[in-house]
Amino acid sequence: MLELRAVSVRYGPRAVVRSVSLDLPAGSWLAVIGPNGAGKSSLLKAVAGLVAHDGEVLVGGRPLGGLTSRERARAVAYAPQTPELPDRLTVTDYVLLGRTPHLPPLARERRSDLVVVEQVLSRLDLSTLADRPLRTLSGGERQRAVLARVLAQQAGLLLLDEPTTGLDIGHAQALLELVDRLRTEEGATVVSTLHDLTLSAQYADRLLLLDGGRVAAAGSPAEVLTRETVERHYEARVEVLHTAAGNVVITPTRHPATPAGDLR
């Protein structure tokens, strides 16, 4: 579904993504992880066609560079980490923008487009906010509106840059469950960046760990999220726990542990 061949991104003389290659089957979920500044967002932007890159990006076997912007928007939907929103639009009108690649040029939205938007708003718990201008939303509500626009686009490949930033644990979970449903029921392929390693392990079936723009590790969550790998690349102290339900939990640890009540 998504193939990267030696993709590199540079800003001026500085390479921030260095020769990343991968092959992602349709219906899988890849979480790109790594410390701050590792190149995660830049890699997503390269796949979205938003920054110049070396190497090749193929979606469904077709080089992305060879698609028209309309074809590209039907194939790939991208949610940036810090989107700039047209603040005066209502939530519904903003999410309707996601339908643009499906409309004939200059045509107005059809009943079917409104139905898609209503469904997405309902799934993201945004129906009661449908008529509100974007500028009146809270941070978490804005984040969900951005996701709603991306989902309304109904592209086969979803690129989500830190989709749970600013969301409380319940809304984060609901959003990731929804994305996962799109993946399992409709065959969408997902590439997301996620700082929360525990959530990455729960939702993604593959992880790509970037450090200094290079692939430091790749594979299943259990293969990548070892204590040694996380500690080395994040310069952190962690413990990797395995719950009875089979979840991997990455938790920070303190050494030496400071006893509670001994904080003088």
Ligand X SMILES: Nc1ncnc2c1ncn2[C@@H]1O[C@H](COP(=O)(O)OP(=O)(O)OP(=O)(O)O)[C@@H](O)[C@H]1O
C-alpha distances in Å from residue 186, one per residue of 92, 156, 178, 245, 260: 23, 9, 11, 26, 49
Residue 201 and residue 191 in contact, taking contact as beta carbons nearer than 8 Å = no
Alpha helices in 7-81 (DSSP H): 40-48, 69-75
Question: How far is residue 87's CA from residue 117's CA, in Å, rounded to a whole number?
Answer: 18
Residue 101 and residue 74 in contact, taking contact as beta carbons nearer than 8 Å = yes
Considering just the CA atoms, what is the radius of gyration of the chain in Å? 19
Binding status of residue 233 toward ligand X by CB under 6 A: no
Binding status of residue 163 toward ligand X by CB under 6 A: no
Cβ neighbors of 78 (< 8 A, separation 6 or more) are: 44, 45, 48, 50, 150, 159, 161
Q: Which is nearer to ligand X, 39 or 221 (CB)?
A: 39
Q: Which is nearer to ligand X, 16 or 240 (CB)?
A: 16
Binding status of residue 39 toward ligand X by CB under 6 A: yes
Q: Cβ 167 to ligand X, closest distance in Å?
A: 16
Q: Cβ 16 to ligand X, closest distance in Å?
A: 4
Residues paired with 17 in a beta bridge: 9
Binding status of residue 38 toward ligand X by CB under 6 A: yes
Q: Cβ 12 to ligand X, closest distance in Å?
A: 7
Binding status of residue 230 toward ligand X by CB under 6 A: no
Q: Which is nearer to ligand X, 90 or 165 (CB)?
A: 165
Question: How far is residue 93's CA from residue 126's CA, in Å, rounded to a whole number?
Answer: 13
Residue with tokens 């089979």: 246
Q: Which is nearer to ligand X, 149 or 233 (CB)?
A: 233
Q: Which is nearer to ligand X, 36 or 68 (CB)?
A: 36
Binding status of residue 34 toward ligand X by CB under 6 A: yes
Binding status of residue 36 toward ligand X by CB under 6 A: yes
Question: How far is residue 230's CA from residue 159's CA, in Å, rounded to a whole number?
Answer: 24
Binding status of residue 16 toward ligand X by CB under 6 A: yes
Q: Which stretch binds ligand X (CB under 6 A): 18-26, 29-37, 200-208, 229-237?
A: 29-37
The residues that touch ligand X, with contacts defined as CB under 6 A, are: 11, 16, 34, 36-42
